[in-house]
C-alpha cells in the first residue's frame, strides 16, 4: 500500500515545543494531514516514555497505535474522510556535541527502534552518557560513531538516520561543525548508514549534485514542534504497513517512492547571511567578501546552498539513475493565508482549512491529488489557481538565511485583485490588497523576491501522476513570522547569475536577479528567477579563488623524532633529568612538566646509564597518577619499564604487608576494611556510632588516642587492616627490624616521590626508613600547592628536604606550558603574599596568541551564578541548541575546537555544586562530578528515596518510576524540580535493578554512599570538581565559582580568621587558577545561602592581589535579579 510517513517529530517534553505535542493531538493531526505513520519522538525522555507505555499498544510488526478507547475518541472528532487511524514508530532525535580532528562537531541524529525493549536498551546506555530528563531531544557529549554503535547494539532492527544533514550548525554535512562526507562522521560503522534526512533548506535536485549522497536514500520529515506542523515534509512508501518493511525500503530502495518537500528557499538557512545586520548573500558574493559581513566584518553564516555547492561534483540538473521523485509543497494553511490576507494560524484560515478538508479529504490529498477543478469548486478559483501553480512549481521564492525564514508565494504582487477571480468562499472586498501588504519591519531583513522556476528534474510538476512522490528539504519552521518550530537547514544552489533559468509565462518580462547583499530596511527586489548551482569542482576540492575561510587546514608538520630520552626537554627540565645520582629536590611550578621531568630522569638512568630498572621505586599519591607514570615509562622504555615498581603509598604498604604478613600477625589473604566496615568496627570499639566516627577522624589525622587500641585489636581479630594501617604497619615493621629495612633499601636503591609537599608524618617516616640517611631519592613538587593539611599532610617535610639530605641538589622548573600569560601572571600575583618559594618565578611559554583576559563575573546569588556558567558554556561552544541561536543568546561560532570535556567548574565546597547541577540540568548540559559522586548528593534523589517507602511492593525499577511520576504531579508547578526528579529516577535505576525488590537494601546502599553508576567512558561531560579534587588536572576552560569571603578563604559562619589556614586557602586558590589553560572565569555572588541561611557576601580578599589589567567583567545578564512586575498590573 502507498502511504506517507513523517518520522521526525517531537513531544511536549522537548524544548520550544507545543504543549499539544501529546499522542492524542499528534494522532489527530497526522490523520487530518494524511500521514499514515508518524514517529513518536523523544522515547529517551522518562516522562514521555511513560506516556508511550500507557497509551500505545502493539499494531503491525514494529509499529504501535493508540489504545482502543483513546483512538476511538480521536477518530470521532475527525472529518469522515480523514478517519484513518495513524501508526506510531518509536523514534528520538539525539544531539551530539564532541571534538574530533581538533574541531567541535555538532551533529543531530534520528534513532529508530522496533520494540519498547530496544528503546529501553538505547535509553539505558544513553543515560550513562548524559542527562536524558532535561530535554526530549537530549544533548550528549558523544561521538556520532559511538551513538551509532549503541543504536545497533540495541536490536538488529534498530537504525540511525543523520538528521537534516545540511543545517550549518547541527548536522553531519553542516558548514559550521560537520564533515565533508557522511561516511567520515561514522568512521568504521559508516556502512550501517543507509538513509539521510536532507532538511528544509535543500531538495533532491540540489542533493543530486553531490555524488557521495547516491549511497543513501534521501528522506524528508517535518521535524514538527507542534502538531499542525506535521507533513510539511514527509516520505512516501509503497510497502506493507510494517516497521521492518519501511526499514527495508530505506535500505534497498524497493518500496521507497520519494518525498514531499518544502521549497528549499523557504528554509531559514538556505542562503548565506548575517541576521543581526540584515545581510543576505548568494554564495559567490560571500566569497567575494571573504566570508565576512560587509556591515560588521564578522563571519557570515554559510547557508545550505553554499555548502552544497562547495561539495558538489555534478552540475545542477543531473539525476542519478533510479532516483525517486519528489513534490515541493506549501502547507495548505499557508496557501489559504496568502489568499485571505491574514495569518495561517488565524481562526478564519483554520476554519476554512477545516471546511476544505471536510469536503475534499486530507491536506496532502488536496495539495497533491485532488482534481484542481474540484478544488476550485469547493475553495474558489484563486485556490484552484494556487494549487495548480504549486503543483507546477511556478511560485515566487524569497530565500531564507541565518535563521530567517524565506517565503514562498503563489501570486505575484498585484495578481489577486480581480473580483472575478475571487474564491467562492471569500468576498472580493475581503481580499488583502497587495499594495497594503506590509514591508519589512524596521530592523528586519528585506526579503528578496524570487520568481517561479520550471518543474525540476525529478519533481512532480503539473500533469504528474497522482501518488508520485517528490523532493525534499529537511527540517525547519513554517513560513512567515512567529514560527512555533525550529527550522533546520538544507539547500544547495549557488545563485550565480549565469546559472539562473526561469519559466516565464507569456507576456512576462525577466526580472533582475537577487541583490548581492540586502541590508535591512531596503525595499525587496522584484520577482526574479531562482538561482541554480553552477557545476562545481570535484568533491572535496575548493574553488581556486576561495578565501582562507573556506580553505582546507594546512597540514601540521610532524615533530622531529627524538634521539634520546632527554631530547625535547627545556634547559631546566634537562638539568633535573640529567642530574647525577644522589638526593635531588625539584621545585616544579604548575604546568612546568613535572611528570615529564620525573619519567625522563628515570628513563635516562635506565636507558642511558644502565641502572637496573628493578632498583627503581616511584611513588605517587593517586591511582590515576600511578597509571599515568606507568604509561609514560612504558612509552619511553618499552618492556624494560615492567621492572620498575610504581605505586601509591597505600599500594606500597600493601605490597610490604603481603610480603611480611606473618610479622604483622595477618594471614596471607587478609582483607581491607572499607569505610562502612571501619565505622562498624569503630562504633563497636568506641561504644556508639558517633564516638566511632570521632575515633576514625583521629586516625585519619594521625592523632590516635590510647583508648583506640581496641579498634585495632578488633581489626586484627577479623584479619583486617584499614587504610591507615597500610602505611603505619609497614613503618612499625621496618622500625622494629633494621635488617628488614636494609633489605628493602637494597631492593629499591633509587626512589622517586611525586607531590612531595603532600606527604604526612607516617609517609615521611616510611620514606626515611626506605632511603636511609644517604639514600638516592628524587623529590618533586611545589610547596605552594600544598593543600592537604586537613588530612595530616605537612609541607614542612618538603621545606626541610635539604636539611634531611645535606648534599641534595635543587632544581627549579619555572616555565609554564599549560596556561596563557594572563592566567600565569594572575596566579603568581595571587600566591605572592603567602608563597613558600623564595623569589617565586613562573613564566608562560606556551603558544598563546593574544590571550584573553580573565573573566570576572558578579551575580545576584548562587543560582544566577550557576546560570552564568551554563550560558557561558553554551556561548563558548557556539550554541548547543536551536534555542541558543534563535534567541540571539549565541551570535558567534564559539571558541573553536571545544567539547564538553574541555570545561571544568571548580568550587571550594561540595555544597556549591548543587546550584551548578541544577543549571546544567535545565540547560541540558551533560556533566560529571569527578569526586565521590554519591547518588544522595544528586538533586532529587533524597526526595525520591523518601517517597519510595510509601509505594506498594514490587520490582524496585517500577516503584521508582511510579514514585517519580507522583512526585512530578505533586510539584507540577516547579519545572526545575520536576527535571531534577526525572534525572534522579534515571540515575537510581541501575541500583534499583541490582536490588530487585529489596527496598531496605536499596536504601542502605544509598545511605552508605552508593555512587552514580560509572558513566560511559565514551561520553564528553563538563567536569564538576572541588578545588582539592582538581589537583593535577588541567582544562582549556575553567570556571572558579564562589570567590566570596567565607568560601575562599573558607571559614565557618562566625569563625575568626586563622593565619595558617588562610595561607593554605590561598595556596588552594593558586591551584584553582592554574588548572586553566586558555580561559579562566572567576565568579562570586552578592548574596549566598549557606547552611540554610541567606546573607550578603563580600568578594574574596584573594581577588585583590590580581592586577585589574589582567581581568575584565563578563556577562552582566545575571548581575541583578529583575523584580517581576506585579501580575495584576500586567493584566490591566
Same fold, 571-673+718-813 and 820-933+1015-1132: yes
Going by C-alpha positions, the residue among 250, 256, 244 that lies closest to residue 89 is: 244
The answer to whether 595 is a known ligand-binding residue is yes
The answer to whether 591 is a known ligand-binding residue is yes
Going by C-alpha positions, the residue among 976, 988, 1004 that lies closest to residue 920 is: 976
Angle at which helices 332-340 and 381-392 cross, to 10°: 130
Confidence of residue 986 (pLDDT cuts 50, 70, 90): confident
Say if residues 233 and 472 touch (Cβ distance below 8 Å): yes
The answer to whether 588 is a known ligand-binding residue is yes
With H, G, I as helix, E, B as strand and everything else as coil, classify residue 150: helix
Confidence of residue 1116 (pLDDT cuts 50, 70, 90): low
Say if residues 105 and 178 touch (Cβ distance below 8 Å): yes
683-704 mean pLDDT: 84
Residue reference for cell 504501535? 64
| Predicted confidence (pLDDT) at residue 476 exceeds the cutoff of 50 | no
pLDDT in the model for residue 1017: 62
pLDDT in the model for residue 933: 61
Say if residues 1043 and 1083 touch (Cβ distance below 8 Å): yes
pLDDT in the model for residue 553: 39
The tens digit of pLDDT for each residue in 148-191 reads 999 999 999 999 999 999 988 899 998 887 899 999 999 999 99
The pTM for the full model equals: 0.74
Bigger pLDDT: 939 or 6?
Answer: 6
| Predicted confidence (pLDDT) at residue 466 exceeds the cutoff of 60 | no
pLDDT in the model for residue 920: 92
| Predicted confidence (pLDDT) at residue 353 exceeds the cutoff of 90 | yes
In the chain, what is the straight-line distance between the N-terminal and C-terminal CA atoms, in Å? 57
Q: Which of 422-431, 617-626, 643-652, 1094-1103 has the lowest mean pLDDT?
A: 422-431
Say if residues 387 and 367 touch (Cβ distance below 8 Å): yes
The tens digit of pLDDT for each residue in 16-71 reads 899 999 999 999 999 999 999 999 999 999 999 999 999 999 999 999 999 999 99
Bigger pLDDT: 17 or 460?
Answer: 17
Kindly write down the DSSP assignment for every residue of 978-1040, as one continuous string: HHHHHHHHHHHHHHHHHHTT-HHHHHHHHHTTPBPP---TTEE-EEEEETTTTTT--EEEEEE
Cis peptide before 97 (omega within 30 of 0): no
1042-1063 mean pLDDT: 86
| Predicted confidence (pLDDT) at residue 540 exceeds the cutoff of 70 | no
823-839 mean pLDDT: 95
Q: Which of 196-210, 292-306, 342-356, 989-1003 has the lowest mean pLDDT?
A: 989-1003
Q: What would be the CATH architecture of the domain defined by 571-673+718-813?
A: 3-Layer(aba) Sandwich (3.40)
pLDDT in the model for residue 698: 83
Taking the C-alpha atoms of residue 426 and residue 873, their distance in angstroms, rounded to an integer, is 53
Q: Which of 395-399, 710-714, 922-926, 998-1002 has the lowest mean pLDDT?
A: 998-1002
Bigger pLDDT: 1091 or 732?
Answer: 732
CA distances for 1031 relative to 114, 243, 1101, angstroms: 47, 52, 22
pLDDT in the model for residue 891: 67
Say if residues 909 and 1041 touch (Cβ distance below 8 Å): no
With H, G, I as helix, E, B as strand and everything else as coil, classify residue 349: helix
Number of H helices, E strands in the chain: 37, 37
CA distances for 467 relative to 260, 327, 330, angstroms: 11, 10, 17
CATH superfamily of 2-266: Metal-dependent hydrolases (3.20.20.140)
Q: Which of 209-223, 760-774, 924-938 has the lowest mean pLDDT?
A: 924-938
893-916 mean pLDDT: 89
pLDDT in the model for residue 1121: 43
Residue 713 pairs in a beta bridge with: none
Q: What would be the CATH architecture of the domain defined by 820-933+1015-1132?
A: 3-Layer(aba) Sandwich (3.40)
pLDDT in the model for residue 1044: 95
pLDDT in the model for residue 876: 92
The answer to whether 781 is a known ligand-binding residue is no
pLDDT in the model for residue 770: 95
The answer to whether 40 is a known ligand-binding residue is no
Report the share of the chain in percent with pLDDT over 90: 61
The tens digit of pLDDT for each residue in 509-539 reads 333 333 334 343 333 333 333 333 333 333 3
The tens digit of pLDDT for each residue in 271-281 reads 999 988 999 99
Alpha-helix runs per DSSP H in 553-593: 571-577
**Residue 758, Cβ neighbours under 10 Å: how many?**
24
Taking the C-alpha atoms of residue 677 and residue 683, their distance in angstroms, rounded to an integer, is 10
Residue reference for cell 529489596? 998
**Residue 475, Cβ neighbours under 10 Å: how many?**
38
The answer to whether 592 is a known ligand-binding residue is yes
Report the share of the chain in percent with pLDDT over 70: 82
CA distances for 24 relative to 12, 261, 282, 972, angstroms: 12, 25, 43, 21
With H, G, I as helix, E, B as strand and everything else as coil, classify residue 651: helix
The answer to whether 167 is a known ligand-binding residue is no
385-403 mean pLDDT: 93
pLDDT in the model for residue 524: 33
pLDDT in the model for residue 181: 95
Going by C-alpha positions, the residue among 414, 418, 369, 362 that lies closest to residue 390 is: 369
CA distances for 833 relative to 840, 976, 1066, 1098, angstroms: 11, 43, 9, 20
The answer to whether 121 is a known ligand-binding residue is no
Mean pLDDT of the residues in the chain = 83
Kindly write down the DSSP assignment for every residue of 761-811, as one continuous string: HHHHHHHHHHH-TT-EEEEEE-GGG---GGGTB-THHHHTHHHHSTT-EEE
Q: Are strands 2-6 and 234-238 parallel, antiparallel or unpaired?
A: antiparallel
Q: Which of 323-332, 383-392, 696-705, 1095-1104 has the lowest mean pLDDT?
A: 696-705
Confidence of residue 886 (pLDDT cuts 50, 70, 90): low
Confidence of residue 382 (pLDDT cuts 50, 70, 90): very high
User: From edge to edge, which strands make up the β-sheet containing 616-620?
Assistant: 645-648, 616-620, 750-754, 776-781, 584-588, 809-813
Going by C-alpha positions, the residue among 862, 863, 812 that lies closest to residue 1043 is: 862
Query: To 5 degrees, how large is the angle CA 65–CA 68–CA 74?
Result: 80
Taking the C-alpha atoms of residue 920 and residue 133, their distance in angstroms, rounded to an integer, is 11
Angle at which helices 372-379 and 347-360 cross, to 10°: 130
Query: To 5 degrees, how large is the angle CA 823–CA 105–CA 169?
Result: 105
Bigger pLDDT: 452 or 578?
Answer: 578
Domain ranges of the chain: 2-266, 571-673+718-813, 676-715, 820-933+1015-1132, 935-1011
595-615 mean pLDDT: 95
Kindly write down the DSSP assignment for every residue of 225-293, as one continuous string: SSGGGTTSSEEEEES-S-HHHHHHHHHH-TTEEEEEE--GGGSTTSBEEEGGGTEEE-HHHHHHTTTB-
Write a three-state SS string for 1028-1091: CCCCCCCEEEEEECCCECEECCECCCCCCCCHHHHHHHHHHHHHHHCCEEEEEEEEEECEEEEC
Q: Determine whether 770 is exposed, middle or buried from the number of CB atoms within 10 Å of its CB (0-12, 13-18, 19+).
A: buried
3-state helix, strand, coil in the chain (%, to 5): 40, 15, 45
With H, G, I as helix, E, B as strand and everything else as coil, classify residue 871: helix
Amino acid at each position: 500500500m502507498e502511504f506517507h510517513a513523517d518520522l521526525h517529530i517531537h513531544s511536549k517534553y522537548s524544548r520550544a515545543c507545543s504543549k499539544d505535542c501529546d499522542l492524542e493531538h499528534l494522532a489527530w493531526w497526522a490523520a487530518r494531514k494524511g500521514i499514515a505513520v508518524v514517529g513518536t519522538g523523544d522515547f529517551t525522555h522518562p516522562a514521555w516514555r511513560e506516556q508511550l507505555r500507557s497509551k500505545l499498544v502493539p499494531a503491525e510488526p514494529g509499529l504501535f497505535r493508540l489504545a482502543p478507547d483513546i483512538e476511538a475518541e480521536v477518530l470521532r472528532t475527525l472529518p469522515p474522510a480523514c478517519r484513518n487511524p495513524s501508526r506510531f514508530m518509536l523514534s528520538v532525535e539525539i544531539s551530539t556535541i564532541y571534538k574530533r580532528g581538533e574541531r567541535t562537531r555538532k551533529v543531530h541524529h534520528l534513532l529508530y527502534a522496533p520494540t519498547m525493549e530496544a528503546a529501553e536498551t538505547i535509553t539505558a546506555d544513553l543515560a550513562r552518557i548524559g542527562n536524558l530528563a532535561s530535554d526530549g531531544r537530549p544533548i550528549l557529549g558523544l561521538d556520532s560513531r559511538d551513538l551509532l554503535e549503541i543504536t545497533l547494539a540495541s536490536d538488529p532492527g534498530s537504525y540511525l538516520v543523520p538528521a537534516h544533514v545540511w543545517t550549518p550548525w547541527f548536522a553531519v554535512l553542516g558548514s559550521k561543525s560537520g564533515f565533508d562526507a557522511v561516511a567520515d562522521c561514522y568512521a568504521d560503522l559508516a556502512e550501517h548508514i543507509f538513509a539521510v534526512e536532507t532538511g528544509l533548506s535543500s531538495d533532491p535536485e540540489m542533493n543530486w549534485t553531490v555524488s557521495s549522497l547516491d549511497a543513501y536514500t534521501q528522506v524528508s520529515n517535518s521535524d514538527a514542534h507542534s502538531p499542525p506542523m506535521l507533513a510539511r515534509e514527509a516520505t512516501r512508501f509503497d510497502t506493507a504497513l510494517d516497521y521492518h518493511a519501511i526499514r527495508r525500503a530505506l535500505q534497498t530502495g524497493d518500496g521507497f517512492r520519494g518525498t514531499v518537500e518544502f521549497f528549499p528557499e523557504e528554509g531559514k538557512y538556505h542562503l548565506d547571511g548575517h541576521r543581526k545586520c540584515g545581510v543576505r548573500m548568494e554564495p559567490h558574493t560571500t566569497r567575494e567578501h571573504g566570508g565576512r559581513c560587509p556591515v560588521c566584518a564578522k563571519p557570515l553564516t554559510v547557508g545550505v546552498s553554499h555548502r552544497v555547492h562547495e561539495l558538489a561534483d555534478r552540475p545542477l540538473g543531473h539525476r542519478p539513475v533510479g532516483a525517486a521523485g519528489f513534490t515541493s509543497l506549501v502547507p495548505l494553511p499557508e496557501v489559504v493565508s496568502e489568499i485571505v490576507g491574514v495569518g495561517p494560524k488565524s481562526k478564519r484560515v483554520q476554519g476554512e482549512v477545516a471546511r476544505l478538508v471536510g469536503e475534499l479529504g486530507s491536506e496532502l490529498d488536496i495539495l497533491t491529488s485532488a482534481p484542481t477543478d474540484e478544488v476550485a469548486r469547493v475553495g474558489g478559483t484563486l485556490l484552484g489557481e494556487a494549487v495548480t501553480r504549486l503543483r507546477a512549481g511556478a511560485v515566487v521564492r524569497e530565500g531564507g538565511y541565518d535563521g530567517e525564514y524565506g517565503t514562498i508565494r503563489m501570486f505575484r504582487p498585484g495578481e489577486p485583485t480581480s473580483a472575478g477571480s475571487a474564491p467562492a468562499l471569500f468576498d472580493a472586498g475581503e481580499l488583502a490588497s497587495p499594495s497594503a501588504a506590509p514591508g519589512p519591519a524596521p530592523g528586519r531583513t528585506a526579503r528578496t523576491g524570487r520568481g517561479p522556476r520550471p518543474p525540476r528534474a525529478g519533481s512532480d510538476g503539473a500533469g504528474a501522476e497522482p501518488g508520485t512522490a517528490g523532493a525534499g528539504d529537511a527540517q525547519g519552521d513554517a513560513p512567515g513570522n512567529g514560527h512555533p518550530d525550529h527550522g533546520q537547514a538544507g539547500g544547495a544552489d549557488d545563485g550565480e547569475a549565469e546559472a539562473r533559468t526561469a519559466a516565464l509565462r507569456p507576456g512576462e518580462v525577466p526580472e533582475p536577479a537577487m541583490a548581492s547583499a540586502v541590508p535591512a530596511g531596503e525595499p525587496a527586489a522584484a520577482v526574479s528567477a531562482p538561482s541554480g548551482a553552477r557545476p562545481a569542482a570535484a568533491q572535496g576540492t575548493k574553488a581556486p579563488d576561495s578565501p582562507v575561510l573556506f580553505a582546507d587546514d594546512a597540514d601540521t608538520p610532524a615533530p622531529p623524532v627524538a634521539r634520546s630520552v632527554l631530547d625535547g626537554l627545556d634547559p631546566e627540565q634537562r638539568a633535573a633529568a640529567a642530574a647525577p645520582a644522589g638526593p635531588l629536590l625539584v621545585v616544579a611550578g604548575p604546568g612546568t612538566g613535572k611528570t615529564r621531568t620525573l619519567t625522563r630522569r628515570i628513563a635516562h638512568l635506565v636507558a642511558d646509564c644502565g641502572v637496573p630498572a628493578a632498583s627503581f621505586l616511584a611513588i605517587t599519591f593517586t591511582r590515576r597518577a600511578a597509571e599515568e607514570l606507568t604509561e609514560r615509562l612504558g612509552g619511553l622504555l618499552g618492556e624494560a619499564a615492567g621492572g620498575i615498581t610504581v605505586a601509591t603509598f597505600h599500594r606500597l604498604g600493601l605490597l610490604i604487608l603481603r610480603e611480611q604478613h606473618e610479622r604483622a600477625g595477618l594471614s596471607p589473604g587478609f582483607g581491607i576494611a572499607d569505610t562502612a566496615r571501619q565505622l562498624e568496627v569503630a562504633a563497636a570499639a568506641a561504644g556508639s556510632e558517633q564516638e566511632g566516627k570521632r575515633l576514625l577522624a583521629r586516625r585519619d589525622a594521625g592523632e590516635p588516642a590510647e583508648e583506640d587500641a581496641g579498634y585495632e585489636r578488633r581489626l586484627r581479630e577479623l584479619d583486617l587492616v584499614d587504610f591507615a594501617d597500610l602505611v603505619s604497619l609497614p613503618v612499625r615493621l621496618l622500625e622494629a627490624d633494621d635488617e628488614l629495612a636494609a633489605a628493602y633499601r637494597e631492593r629499591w636503591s633509587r626512589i622517586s616521590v611525586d607531590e612531595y609537599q603532600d606527604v604526612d608524618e607516617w609517609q615521611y617516616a616510611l620514606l626515611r626508613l626506605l632511603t636511609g640517611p644517604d639514600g638516592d631519592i628524587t623529590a618533586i613538587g611545589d610547596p605552594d600547592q600544598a593543600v592537604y593539611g586537613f588530612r595530616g599532610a605537612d609541607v614542612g617535610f618538603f621545606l626541610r628536604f635539604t636539611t634531611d639530605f645535606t648534599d641534595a641538589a635543587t632544581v627549579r622548573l619555572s616555565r609554564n606550558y599549560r596556561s596563557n600569560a594572563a592566567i600565569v601572571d594572575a596566579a603568581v600575583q595571587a600566591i605572592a603574599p603567602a608563597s613558600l618559594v623564595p623569589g617565586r618565578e613562573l613564566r608562560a611559554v606556551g603558544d598563546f596568541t593574544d590571550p584573553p583576559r580573565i573573566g570576572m563575573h558578579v551575580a545576584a546569588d548562587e543560582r544566577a551564578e550557576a546560570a552564568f556558567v551554563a550560558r557561558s558554556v553554551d556561548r563558548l561552544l557556539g550554541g548547543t541548541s536551536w534555542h541558543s541561536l534563535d534567541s540571539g543568546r549565541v551570535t558567534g561560532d564559539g571558541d573553536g575546537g571545544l567539547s564538553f570535556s574541555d570545561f571544568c567548574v571548580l568550587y571550594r565546597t561540595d555544597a556549591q555544586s548543587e546550584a551548578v547541577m541544577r543549571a546544567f540540568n535545565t540547560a541540558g548540559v551533560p556533566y560529571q562530578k569527578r569526586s565521590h559522586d554519591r547518588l544522595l548528593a544528586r538533586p532529587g534523589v533524597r526526595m525520591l528515596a523518601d517517597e519510595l517507602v510509601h509505594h506498594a511492593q514490587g520490582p524496585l525499577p517500577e516503584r521508582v518510576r511510579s514514585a517519580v511520576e507522583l512526585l512530578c504531579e505533586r510539584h507540577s508547578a516547579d519545572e526545575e524540580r520536576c527535571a531534577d526528579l526525572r534525572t534522579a529516577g534515571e540515575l537510581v535505576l541501575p541500583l534499583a535493578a541490582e536490588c530487585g525488590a529489596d527496598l531496605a537494601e536499596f536504601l542502605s546502599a544509598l545511605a552508605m554512599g552508593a555512587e552514580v553508576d560509572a558513566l560511559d567512558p565514551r561520553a564528553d561531560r563538563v567536569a564538576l570538581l572541588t578545588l582539592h579534587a582538581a589537583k593535577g588536572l588541567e582544562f582549556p576552560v575553567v570556571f572558579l565559582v564562589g570567590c566570596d569571603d567565607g568560601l575562599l578563604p573558607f571559614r565557618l559562619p562566625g569563625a575568626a580568621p586563622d593565619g595558617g589556614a588562610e595561607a593554605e586557602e590561598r595556596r588552594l586558590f593558586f591551584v584553582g587558577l592554574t588548572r586553566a589553560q586558555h580561559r579562566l572565569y572567576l565568579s562570586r555572588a552578592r548574596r549566598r545561602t549557606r547552611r540554610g541561611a541567606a546573607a550578603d557576601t563580600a568578594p574574596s580578599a584573594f581577588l585583590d592581589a590580581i592586577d585589574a589589567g589582567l581581568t575584565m567583567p563578563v556577562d552582566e545578564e545575571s548581575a541583578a535579579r529583575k523584580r517581576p512586575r506585579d501580575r495584576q498590573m500586567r493584566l490591566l
